[in-house]
């Protein structure tokens, strides 16, 4: 069997790639599209990095692998913690390949920290704590990379803020350069059957600079839009150049898959779901004096978003980190501002955590202080909440919510009970509906700022090589879960029957019967992946990108 190389461009979208190619840019991606097949690639619901990349690696929906967002509620607690590789249920495609004797080199895939043993090499990706030394498997690989390449950037620490655009872009170009050098070094020095490399920079630059690229964006008139209009293009060009060099250096029978976990598009509004639940009476604040004082301050506009907006306006967005160094990543914010610690759980029926639109009911026997009885009451509360969501309007009078689902309509699997009870998409996904656990603003809806793009359901898939048909008909668009079984099939490895994805036979030149077998169940000791300081660092990075506030 020939080699398979997967190049992940986090958040990449044809909404950018097509116009860039039309302008004569991205020649290497254009060549792969012409020589092979391409299609949009449907993401998970919601299209969040943590759940999407885990569905990519396992071939399973989140109800089976257990990761629904960046954050999880700790057992027997309402405290939140970032997810890690320890939280994943189900073997990754490289683990299944390794059991069949295939060697993998895995670089930069999100939610792979802490690194876990595999037949091959691993360099972890997003949610690796800043400054972590245990980001490779085997551990000595980090020294090997340092000696051969120099500094390796697991994930760029820069965030766009006013006056720091050049610094922000420079940091992304540097991390691409070091990532590309490291990938070329490992892929040429070591033997491998499956190579996986993810570039997070395509996602980071969109969150930071979509306002400059898109002249219809409400932030477009801010500082130097013209100066940074092609900032996103420049990042894509850097990666396109590396793709061309790397593909040209590989054996000609290598199958190359370029894909993304989700797409991107403009962000117009923030929707504060817990404020909505508070207004509608589903969420209550404790009656004690401390919580009530914070609630009064919250109601008159003394919120974390007010403080952060002031920092952004003077180019000091990164100073927010100095406010937030304690356990759970909230520290001083919890002390002085309204937070989930101030929620009266014994009188609260629903709460929200998550990046797009996710609501959990406070269920008796599931949540530590749950009050909603399973069964008839649960269904009644959920139905009433869905009705209220359908009535939610933007300040301009337009209805805001486009799609609403119960979890049973989206997920299947052993982790269904852990899933959000209600999921919803605001119209066109131009609104981030995250249940900010610190009640970041006292509004229900307000114009976005700080980040200027959000995720979309339409990622990308480009496939090329001798094993790939030219211009295959890939309709309807494949799903993220289809990647893992297709890769296993290309490698001659049996596909576990409990994967939700399918082998994309329609794009393969040689159609042979799919071999099923083995198991994708994962037995792994569960534990806390992060120290208190590391957890705070990870949560700060998620704050920088607007995934939590």
Q: How far from 127 is each of 115, 217, 415, 508, 540, CA to CA, in Å?
A: 12, 29, 22, 34, 10
Q: Which of 357, 343, 350 is nearest to 390 (CA)?
A: 357
pLDDT at site 99: 96
Is there a cis peptide before residue 138, judged by omega within 30 degrees of 0? yes
* Residue 3 neighbours by CB under 8 Å, 6+ apart: 192, 193, 194, 195, 250, 251, 253, 254, 255
Bridge partners for 72 per DSSP: 81
Q: Which CATH superfamily is domain 4-263+455-461+487-538 in?
A: Alkaline Phosphatase, subunit A (3.40.720.10)
**What pLDDT is attached to residue 159?**
87
Quote the pLDDT of residue 47. 97
Q: What is the pLDDT of residue 328?
A: 40
* CB contact at 8 A, 14 and 40: yes
* First-last CA distance in the chain: 47
Spell 409-426 as b/e; 16+ CB within 10 A means b: ebbebebbebbbbbbbbb
Q: How much is the pLDDT for 435?
A: 58
Residue 509: predicted pLDDT: 96
Residue located via tokens 């117009």: 268
Beta-sheet pairing, 401-406 with 422-426: antiparallel
Domain ranges within the chain, ordered by starting residue: 4-263+455-461+487-538, 269-447
Say whether 125 sits in a helix, a strand or coil: coil
Paired residues of 382 in beta bridges? none
Q: Is 192 helix (H, G, I), strand (E, B) or coil?
A: coil
d(C-alpha 108, C-alpha 122), whole Å: 8
pLDDT means per 10 residues in the chain (549 residues)? 94 98 98 98 97 98 96 89 94 97 98 97 95 94 97 90 92 98 98 98 96 94 88 98 97 97 96 95 96 93 75 52 42 79 96 92 97 98 98 94 97 97 96 73 90 96 98 97 98 97 97 88 72 82 72
Residue 362's closest CA among 347, 376, 375? 347
pLDDT of residue 246: 97
């Amino acid at each position: 069997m020939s080699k398979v190389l997967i190049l992940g461009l986090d958040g990449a979208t044809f909404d950018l790639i097509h116009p860039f190619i039309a302008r004569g840019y991205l020649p290497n991606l254009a060549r792969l599209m012409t020589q092979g097949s391409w299609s949009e690639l449907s993401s998970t619901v919601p299209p969040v990095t943590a759940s999407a990349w885990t569905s990519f690696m396992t071939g399973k929906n989140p109800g089976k692998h257990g990761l629904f967002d960046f954050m999880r509620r700790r057992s027997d607690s309402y405290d939140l913690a970032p997810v890690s590789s320890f939280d994943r249920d189900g073997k990754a495609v490289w683990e299944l390949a390794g059991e069949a004797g295939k060697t993998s080199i895995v670089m930069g895939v999100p939610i792979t920290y802490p690194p876990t043993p595999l037949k091959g090499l691993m360099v972890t990706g997003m949610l690796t704590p800043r400054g972590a030394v245990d980001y490779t498997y085997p551990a000595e690989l980090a020294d090997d990379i340092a000696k051969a390449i120099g500094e390796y950037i697991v994930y760029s620490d820069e965030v766009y803020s006013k006056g720091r655009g050049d610094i922000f872009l420079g940091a992304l170009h540097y991390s691409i350069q070091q990532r590309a050098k490291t990938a070329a070094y490992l892929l040429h020095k070591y033997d491998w059957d499956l190579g996986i490399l993810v570039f997070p920079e395509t996602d980071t630059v969109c969150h930071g600079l979509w306002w400059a690229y898109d002249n219809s964006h409400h932030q477009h008139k801010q500082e130097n839009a013209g100066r940074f209009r092609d900032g996103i293009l420049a990042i894509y060009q850097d990666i396109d150049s590396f793709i061309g060099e790397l593909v040209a250096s590989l054996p000609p029978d290598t199958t190359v898959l370029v894909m993304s976990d989700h797409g991107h598009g403009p962000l117009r509004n923030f929707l504060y779901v817990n404020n909505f639940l508070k207004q509608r009476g589903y969420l209550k604040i404790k009656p004690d004096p401390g919580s009530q004082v914070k609630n009064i301050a919250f109601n008159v506009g003394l919120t974390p978003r007010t403080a952060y907006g002031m920092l952004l306006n003077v180019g000091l967005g990164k100073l927010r980190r100095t406010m937030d160094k304690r356990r759970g990543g909230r520290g001083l914010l919890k002390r002085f501002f309204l937070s989930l610690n101030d929620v009266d759980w014994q009188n609260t029926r629903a709460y929200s955590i998550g990046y797009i639109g996710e609501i959990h009911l406070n269920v008796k026997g599931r949540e530590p202080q749950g009050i909603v009885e399973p069964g008839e009451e649960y269904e009644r509360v959920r139905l009433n909440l869905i009705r209220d969501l359908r009535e939610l309007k933007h300040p301009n009078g337009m209805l805001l919510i486009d799609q609403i689902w119960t979890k049973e309509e989206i997920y299947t699997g052993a982790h269904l009970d852990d899933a959000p009870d209600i999921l919803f998409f605001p119209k066109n996904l131009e609104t981030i509906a995250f249940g900010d656990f610190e009640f970041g603003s006292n509004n229900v809806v307000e114009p976005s700022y700080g980040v200027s793009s959000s995720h979309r359901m339409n990622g990308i898939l480009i496939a090329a090589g001798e094993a790939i048909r030219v211009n295959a008909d890939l309709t309807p668009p494949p799903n993220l879960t289809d990647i893992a079984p297709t890769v296993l099939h290309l490698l001659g490895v049996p596909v576990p029957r409990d994967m939700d994805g399918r082998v994309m036979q329609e794009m393969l030149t040689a159609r042979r019967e799919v071999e099923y077998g083995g198991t994708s169940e994962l037995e792994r000791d569960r534990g806390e992946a992060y120290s208190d300081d590391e957890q705070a660092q990870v949560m700060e990075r998620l704050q920088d990108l607007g995934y939590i506030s």
